[in-house]
Structure 1
Amino acid sequence: MNQKLITGGASIAVLLCSACSAPELVGRPDLAIYENKPLPEPVREDLVIPPRPYVLGPSDNLNIDVFGIPELSKSVTVDLTGQIALPLVGQLQVSGLTTGELTSVLEKKLRQAHVLDPQVTVNIANAASQIFTVDGSVAKPGVFPLAGRMSLMRAIAQAAGTTEFARENYVVVFRTVEGKRYAALYDLRAIRQGMYDDPEIFSNDIVYVGDSQARRLFRDIITAAPLITTPLIILLR
């Protein structure tokens, strides 16, 4: 059990002196650390985040263009059952498909409807179905759209970062895979130090940042400190 006794000005001076020491960056053996000099410049491949196929879902807005046939070109929204409706095609289940897969399905359906050599283009006008949630001790908890690839640190940044009461060594990511619920525990401090990679966040993940009750207690006591007339001793666990 770590104990810190705070009894007055002398202890505060000790804490201030300890805070003045330079932080040490500790990482994995394969992590190249540069101190007080510029990092190497990234090459072109480093500037692009590797793409991940976007899977269509309810509320996504799509622009579907059939070359040379404007009456078949439509802007549609995937309904809550994961379907769209198009001329000559009818109702079509698209939830779970990529835009490339949907393009192939539409071209096949149109050929079956006697459209000669259909050339279909599907573009996502508004991606609304891919989301993740950030909750707990963050400045702005909520549900956020998942645009492209997302990491844990970026997800927390979307929620405006952690609060002063955050327990950064207790960050849990909840995920459902094939009907099974999983939870992984992460330490943001270790990620910042390069101890392990910043994990990827996927659609429907829930990120929870823990709360430090000890810090809240300390804040409340310090707020009430002007009313205290006896020496202050606090045990932090």
Structure 2
Amino acid sequence: MTKSKTQVLFVVMLAVLTAFGQCAFSQEPAPGPSQDQQRSAAPNIAIGAGDLLNIVVFDTPELTTSVRVTQDGDVNLPVLGMMKLAGLNTIEAARKIEDELRSRHLILEPHVTVFITEYASQGATVMGEVRTPGAYPTLGTRRLLDMLSVAGGLQTTAGKTVSIVHRDDPQHPVTIPLQSGSATMYAQENPIILPGDTIVVAKAGVVYVIGDVLKPGGFLIDNNTPISLMQSLSLAGGWDKTAALSKTKLIRKTSEGREEIDLDLKHVAYGSQADMSVQDGDIIFVPSSVSKTMTYRGIEAAISLTSSLLLYLH
């Protein structure tokens, strides 16, 4: 074989080997996530009494086990014995077991993974102003709106806030404002609900405006947003032309019993007297001008009417 043919053959073989190497490299699977990356993706849920844990010690099957947490928060591990894991999340528990294996010189470089395979409470509790309060499963990914829907939706008396109490941090509940109307639901904050969480839908306040007004009834007010006397009357459409504004009464329930406050809406309407805030459960009674005074029977009739309105709202 001549020198030129040898050079051509060498170039062809080099090209084939290069192409084969590129193909083999492109088919090589991407490296999987490291153990630290897998741990960082795990949900930060504290281990609790009654939970079932799957503890895997890499390349040491005799130390791998499935164990349930006792009521004292301990687990009984092979060789290591009793160890308290309650209150830790899965990452912290794995590191604690690794440290124990290392300190006892059982394994030089242990790699431990802890999974919560069964929660003592597999569900979340939905309470407050929902149609069907109770405990509902959270298997899979469940979000706030999912749980509210499973609980039958909101009552007409629901307020504008919902609180979420996490099992692993009960002292710091999270308060979330509820958006109203389909046009704003896309902006609703919708966090994931974890097993053991408690959802509490706040109750809105109710102020009753009855008597000689255009639309008497009970009107919902958010407890976190104060409402004034005049705003309450505007919800009722204002007063009729036959109303005796100077004889208006505010009936308020206190710890010492029922309190009646005389009001002169004429002075409040014209700004000569300051407006005042009303509270949840207040009754604003605007009498007709044909009645010069409001008798005890009239007050009782007003309270009876508000009770009927309350039943209607529920």
User: Which residue of 91, 96, 103 corresponds with 2:94?
Assistant: 103
Flag the 1:75–1:107 CA change in 2: closer, same or farther, 3 A: same
Conservation of the 8 A alpha-carbon contact between 1:65 and 1:72: yes
CA RMSD of aligned residues (A): 3.9
Amino acid at match of 2:80: V
The number of residues matched between the two structures is 168
Paired residue for 1:205? 198
2:156 matches 1:166 = yes
Q: CA deviation at 1:52?
A: 4.0
> In the alignment, which residue of structure 1 is the partner of 2:107?
116
Alignment of 1:157 with 2:149, yes or no, is yes
1:64 aligns with 2:45: no
Pairing of 1:26-175 with structure 2 (within 5 A): 52-117=43-108, 118-129=110-121, 132-144=124-136, 151-159=143-151, 161-162=152-153, 165-173=155-163, 175=165
- Alpha carbons of structure 1 residues 145 and 78: separation in structure 2 relative to 1, 3 Å: farther
How far apart in 1 are the matches of 2:162 and 2:100? 44
Unaligned runs of at least 5 residues, structure 2: 1-40, 208-214, 219-314
Letter in 2 for 1:173: S
How many Å apart are 1:100 and its aligned residue? 1.9
Distance in 1 (CA, whole Å) between partners of 2:150 and 2:142 is: 10
Do the aligned partners of 1:153 and 1:198 also contact (CA within 8 Å) in 2? no
Change (3 A) 1:72 1:115: same
Shift of 1:206: 3.3
Larger Rg: 1 or 2? 2
Post-superposition offset of 1:96? 2.3
- Cα deviation, 1:174-230, whole Å, max 9, x if unaligned, reads 64897757684744425862485325356543313648999xxxxxxxxxxxxxxxx
Provide the TM-score with structure 1 as the length reference.
0.53
Structure 1 portions without partners, runs of 5+: 1-49, 215-233
* Matching residue of 2:257: none
Cα 1:130–1:96 change in 2 (3 A) is farther
Match of 1:224 in 2: none
What is the distance in 2 between the residues matched to 1:124 and 1:186? Answer: 31
1:63-83 residue CA offsets vs partner (Å, 9 max, x unmatched)? 112234333221111122222
Q: What TM-score do the two structures reach when normalised by structure 2?
A: 0.42
| Whole-angstrom CA distance in 2 between matches of 1:56 and 1:209 | 29
Shift of 1:94: 1.1
Distance in 1 separating the partners of 2:150 and 2:130: 10
Query: Against the structure 1 CA distance between its residues 121 and 54, is the aligned structure 2 distance closer, same or farther, given a 3 Å change threshold?
Result: same
* Residue in structure 2 matched with residue 7 of structure 1 by the alignment: none
Aligned 8 A contact 1:78 1:84 in 2: yes
Q: Determine if contact 1:63/1:74 at 8 Å carries over to the other structure.
A: yes
1:207 and 1:139 map into 2 onto residues whose CA distance is: 12
